[in-house]
Amino acid sequence: MTQIQQSFQVPFTYNVIFTENMFSLENETFINFLKNFGNANFRKKILFLVDAGVAENHEYLPEAIKNYFANQDALTLVPEILVFEGGEKVKNDPQVLETILQAIDKHGIDRHSFVAAIGGGAFLDVTGYASAIAHRGVKHIRIPSTVLSQNDSGVGVKNGVNYFGKKNFLGTFAPPIAVFNDSNFLRTLSDRDWRSGISEAIKVALIKDLAFFEWLEGNAEAMAKRDEAVMFHQIFRSAELHVQHISSGDPFELGSARPLDFGHWAAHKLEYLTNFEIRHGEAVAIGIALDSVYSHLKEQITADELARIITLLKTLGFEIYHPALAENDKINLWKGLQEFQEHLGGELTITLLVALGKGVEVHEIDFELMKQSVDILKIS
Amino acid sequence: MTQIQQSFQVPFTYNVIFTENMFSLENETFINFLKNFGNANFRKKILFLVDAGVAENHEYLPEAIKNYFANQDALTLVPEILVFEGGEKVKNDPQVLETILQAIDKHGIDRHSFVAAIGGGAFLDVTGYASAIAHRGVKHIRIPSTVLSQNDSGVGVKNGVNYFGKKNFLGTFAPPIAVFNDSNFLRTLSDRDWRSGISEAIKVALIKDLAFFEWLEGNAEAMAKRDEAVMFHQIFRSAELHVQHISSGDPFELGSARPLDFGHWAAHKLEYLTNFEIRHGEAVAIGIALDSVYSHLKEQITADELARIITLLKTLGFEIYHPALAENDKINLWKGLQEFQEHLGGELTITLLVALGKGVEVHEIDFELMKQSVDILKIS
Ligand SMILES: NC(=O)c1ccc[n+]([C@@H]2O[C@H](COP(=O)([O-])OP(=O)(O)OC[C@H]3O[C@@H](n4cnc5c(N)ncnc54)[C@H](O)[C@@H]3O)[C@@H](O)[C@H]2O)c1
Ligand SMILES: NC(=O)c1ccc[n+]([C@@H]2O[C@H](COP(=O)([O-])OP(=O)(O)OC[C@H]3O[C@@H](n4cnc5c(N)ncnc54)[C@H](O)[C@@H]3O)[C@@H](O)[C@H]2O)c1
Ligand SMILES: [Zn+2]
Ligand SMILES: [Zn+2]
């Protein structure tokens, strides 16, 4: 037996840039980024894809984008700005993916041109996927417009669409070339979407960063009252922790390292059981509450620590219980655990808490105790 | 403006393993590889996808695979072995991709399980693509069964399918976890497929390795007569050069470095103009001949050097001219050059020869001289 060994590293670099009103003419952050990117000899185009939730609430946007790119020699703006409905539905609709691919083809977007997407986490997942598979990857720019996409999903390296009724069945690991977090977009979020992404900050704080958890406690009321400065600080710190987790671990999840998914096994199941009527962030809040109660019953965190977690979630306005948890004598939830194990490749790995700011991985769940946790949550 | 900098490297490692009769019980190379791969705690499955060109000529294969995996505790063979027609058609048929994804779903192939594909370059391109997008990438093993896929396409990192009538419009960069080059499969190739892949060896020899070019000259007749030992040596050296090129350059083509594509601009156009009736390798042979004549007219290689290239191609039995080159007053070929430029992002880059074993990149083509090259080729 002879063999040839192949071995290489692929470097990925991108910045998450915090800005405001990125398409106002005096804000040159975005245009300067584009001008300085890549080989100056290539003629570059830029195609915009916009979440309808953004388009409807920021009606000036198409005009602003056109003005922003007027008189730019180095870059050609594709005049057609595509708008698609946002939210989980967009990930279920094969026609949206097809239409984006058609636009990439029709407007001659090549591997050196840009596809910029403005929208929530769901919208960025499908546009990121289209950008990753067209021509084996065009240059993709993410402009997240929700709290969750600015503090978690939009700053990461994954994309995906739902297929065969399975969440993210199709997708790739494909880092964007840049992320622009524009705080102005967040102002038009419903209270629900303003809130829901905060659960991802609580998640990462609980398993990694006590100081940040305490900061969240101290600023929960202000966030609930839509204090912008406080919210933006939360987003920055959460994004930073998510970004660090990716680079310090196994970014493309090639081995068996776990992503940051405290509270997520139950959250995924809840999203399904409610037919995606609850948001990912809302489901994560409930999942965090559930696994925190379980961690306490396992005597890994104290009653006082548990109370602090529940209080934080409630202060922010999160529901911490959903009837679907108990549905079918809790057998549906039990199936969720099995599916999670299946998804991981046979070995169950669940993150629990051993302290505020400190997670631990376990490979077994005592489901009787988990059922008790559901009952406790119901009356909490 | 504040920003968070993200930067990481993703390591990829895989071996190209040369073996013979890999599914005979006494050959434990493959099973040992599978057993030692990844985390022992994961329950792993393996799904086989087979090119009909292989299945029809190696009828013992399904049975041999089943015997090979009988009594293996660590691994579960998916009993259904999927067979699809090979050749370029498979890359045009969305139903094949869909059926592979369904099988991955139905049989519960997860990110720790394997999808092994046995087939020619076209078959490996579509199966590699399916494996790359399902669950954001399942573990993919390539078992190339043609000369071209063993000496070039199968040892690389690209996959793809044709879409919107465009070759490889959809695809990703996704290294396999291993490549098994089993010489036994090559014995049943038609003379045409035995020959066609040799052009990729000539391509890489001409731009990188004079000694290998001379070796090819010395062994051309033997290869034409289907001397196996000589053919296997050619495949090994060509695979080695292709593997080295990938790791020494820009494996995912994120920057503007060029892949190994001497002779390919005309080849791509020829494949289209003939509606894929000529094989990729055959088109590459003509593309090499054309750009070699042009390199000579540009006084970059001597008449003697050109003659050696043409002689080598002819000795192997390649056609070096196709009427489609001159079609429509050579305007179709001219369009091919424009499309290639378009594909590259606006800056044309063509590899030419300055000596046997030495390529050079140029950014302009004198098309009058290129037309002359076509005419010379016609009468050569
Ligand atoms: N790729 C990843 O790593 C990752 C990580 C976590 C979550 N996710 C995914 O993200 C999705 C959830 O994202 P989300 O919480 O952003 O919700 P979402 O994308 O579902 O958006 C929620 C709603 O907000 C609207 N909207 C978006 N921006 C707005 C704005 N500026 N003003 C007003 N309305 C606006 C949308 O149109 C939509 O109706 C889920 O699909 C989840 O699976 C992905
Ligand atoms: N991914 C890459 O980097 C890359 C590089 C170069 C070429 N390619 C692609 O590879 C394809 C060409 O590959 P190819 O030359 O292997 O041809 P092919 O895949 O088209 O196969 C040619 C024929 O041989 C048959 N066949 C396969 N194995 C056989 C065997 N052992 N015995 C008998 N018949 C067999 C097939 O069924 C098919 O009919 C093109 O689509 C080309 O674009 C990809
Ligand atoms: Zn999440
Ligand atoms: Zn080729």
Taking only the tens place, the pLDDT of each residue in B28-71 is 999 999 999 988 777 789 999 999 999 999 999 999 999 999 98
Res B1: pLDDT = 66
Instruction: Say yes or no: CB of residue A182 within 6 Å of ligand 1.
Output: no
Judge whether A174 and A146 are in contact, CB under 8 Å: no
Average pLDDT over residues B153-177: 96
Decide if pLDDT at B343 tops 80.
no
Structure tokens at A210: 């006590």
Query: What's the CA-to-centroid distance between B314 and ligand 4, angstroms?
Result: 19
| pLDDT tier at A165, thresholds 50, 70, 90 | confident
Chain A, chain B: beta-carbon pairs less than 8 Å apart: 212
Decide if pLDDT at A258 tops 80.
no
Task: Report the distance separating Cα B235 and Cα B154, nearest Å.
Answer: 11
Task: Report the distance separating Cα B105 and Cα B292, nearest Å.
Answer: 48
Instruction: Say yes or no: CB of residue B197 within 6 Å of ligand 2.
Output: yes
With b for 16 or more beta-carbon neighbours within 10 A and e for fewer, the B48-77 pattern comes to bbbbebbbeebeebbebbeebbeeeeebbb
Q: Which is more confidently placed, A340 or A302?
A: A302
Instruction: Say yes or no: CB of residue B144 within 6 Å of ligand 2.
Output: no
Do B110 and A171 count as a contact with CB atoms less than 8 A apart? no
The one-letter code for the residue type at B328 is: N
Do B164 and A29 count as a contact with CB atoms less than 8 A apart? no
Residue with tokens 């405290």: A262
Distance, in angstroms, between B348 CA and closest chain A CA? 9
Fold exhibited by the domain A191-379:
Dehydroquinate synthase-like, alpha domain (1.20.1090)
Query: What's the CA-to-centroid distance between B237 and ligand 2, angstroms?
Result: 19
**Could you tell me how far CA B204 lies from the centroid of its own chain?**
12
Segments making up each domain of chain A, as ranges: 15-188, 191-379
Instruction: Say yes or no: CB of residue A146 within 6 Å of ligand 1.
Output: yes
List CB contacts of B18: < 8 A, sequence separation 6 or more: A1, A2, A3, B181, B183, B232, B236
Average pLDDT over residues B334-343: 86
Distance, in angstroms, between A379 CA and closest chain B CA? 37
| pLDDT tier at A354, thresholds 50, 70, 90 | very high
Ligand nearest to the CA of A199: 3
**A147: closest CA among A284, A45, A244, A268?**
A284
Instruction: Say yes or no: CB of residue B120 within 6 Å of ligand 2.
Output: yes
Q: Using one digit for the tens of pLDDT, what is the confidence trace for B262-321? A: 999 999 999 999 999 999 999 999 999 999 999 999 999 999 999 999 999 999 999 999
Best mutation site among B2, B3, B6, B155 for testing chain A: the one with the most A CBs within 10 Å? B6
Q: How many other CB atoms are there within 10 angstroms of residue B304's CB atom?
A: 9
How much is the pTM? 0.97
According to DSSP, the β-strands at B114-119 and B139-144 are parallel
Longest distance between any two alpha carbons in chain A, whole Å: 68
Q: Which helix (H) or strand (E) holds A48?
A: strand A44-51
Q: Using one digit for the tens of pLDDT, what is the confidence trace for A41-50? A: 777 899 999 9
Alpha-carbon distance values, A205 to A14, A150, A262, A336 (Å): 23, 16, 10, 25
Which residue in the set A14, A251, A343 is minimally distant from B10, CB to CB?
A: A251
| pLDDT tier at A268, thresholds 50, 70, 90 | very high
Lowest mean pLDDT among A192-201, A343-352, A353-362, B42-51: A343-352
Best mutation site among A7, A9, A10 for testing chain B: the one with the most B CBs within 10 Å? A10
Q: Using one digit for the tens of pLDDT, what is the confidence trace for A79-133? A: 999 999 999 999 999 999 999 999 999 999 999 999 999 999 999 999 999 999 9
Instruction: Say yes or no: CB of residue B125 within 6 Å of ligand 2.
Output: yes
Res A283: pLDDT = 98
Residues in A touching B175 (Cβ below 8 Å) = 6
Res B300: pLDDT = 95
Closest residue to atom 4 of ligand 1, CA basis: A153
Distance, in angstroms, between B20 CA and closest chain A CA? 9
The ipTM of this complex is: 0.96
Distance, in angstroms, between B225 CA and closest chain A CA? 25
The one-letter code for the residue type at B241 is: L
Instruction: Say yes or no: CB of residue A209 within 6 Å of ligand 1.
Output: no
Is CATH 3.90.1010.10 the classification given to domain A15-188? no
In B, minimum Cα distance to A176 occurs at B6
